[in-house]
Amino acid sequence: MIILKTAEEIALMRESAQLVSRTLGMLAAEIKPGVTSLQLDRKAEEFIRDHGAIPAFLGMYGFPNSLCMSRNEQVVHGIPSDQPLQEGDVISVDCGVLMNDFYGDHAYTFEVGEVALETRKLLEVTKASLYAGIDAMRRGNRVGDIGNAIQKHCEREGYGVVRELVGHGLGRKLHEDPQVPNYGKRGSGKLLQDGMVLAIEPMINMGTHRVRQLKDGWSIVTGDGKPSAHFEHDVALVDGRPVVLSTFDYIYEALGLPKNDPVFA
């Protein structure tokens, strides 16, 4: 069942999403060679609690940490470890909070030091595909239009679109209806309506779309060991158009990058 949100509820969800954004911005300045993902996880947990919220992933379905940190060939659901990050790594940081009864859940894939050109391109294309998907989240469109936009954007570069893991509705639960695949046919799936809030999150592989799960019971890795990228935003449908509740601007600020992500009119 899809739960539509009121304007007041969407305002609260923006606060939850923005706390995740600020957490990712705080981490952006810390991500460098030699740092471990476990150290970053502890910093994030402290930051979230200091802001009066609860780390949403900690203990959820039994997950042991506050962040999902997925490095290189890991797609999503990586468990923070004491292995130091290395120059040239990429690491997806997925963060969730529960605040004022509503969840925020978003993610960014960071570069560690100097990253290979082809991997940087994977990150750029994946992030652009997220915005292509968001642009398709309009009243009268359907869930399949979002996935179709993401899939087209990535497959024309020869990348693999992960099938087994999908975006989702977001609200008082971390995972609500509908599921939001990163692939699909135009005009298929549930109708998009004002008041929907979706976590849209392309998971895109440089090579095969196939994935497998590691023996730790969590980490999803690419079938061919090539890198994967993951970007996620929380998006509300308001007056027929997408309103992005989360932001990468804190990350850009920390990294000295231009803040020129699209705004949807």
Residue ranges binding Mg ion (CB under 5 A): 94, 105, 107, 199, 232
Measured from the CB atom, the residue of 41 and 94 that comes closer to Mg ion is: 94
3/84 with CB nearer Mg ion: 3
Q: How far apart are the first and last CA of the chain?
A: 28
User: What's the closest the beta carbon of residue 199 comes to Mg ion, in angstroms?
Assistant: 4
- Total Cβ atoms within 10 A of residue 226: 18
**Element of type H or E holding 128:** helix 117-135
Query: Based on CB atoms, which residue is closest to Mg ion, 173 or 240?
Result: 173
Residue with tokens 């309506």: 193
As separate numbers, helices (DSSP H) first and strands (DSSP E) second, the chain gives: 5, 15
Report in angstroms how near the CB of residue 261 gets to Mg ion at its nearest.
18
Q: Output 90 or 199, the one with its CB closest to Mg ion.
A: 199
Q: Quick one: which of 54, 46, 7 has its CA closest to 27? A: 46
Closest approach, Cβ 265 to Mg ion, in A, equals: 26
Minimum CB–partner distance for residue 34 and Mg ion (Å): 26
CA dist 28 and 122 (Å) reads: 19
Q: Which is nearer to Mg ion, 25 or 158 (CB)?
A: 25
Sheet (strand 176-180) strand order: 176-180, 167-169, 197-200, 233-238, 241-244
Closest distance of CB 164 from Mg ion, Å = 14
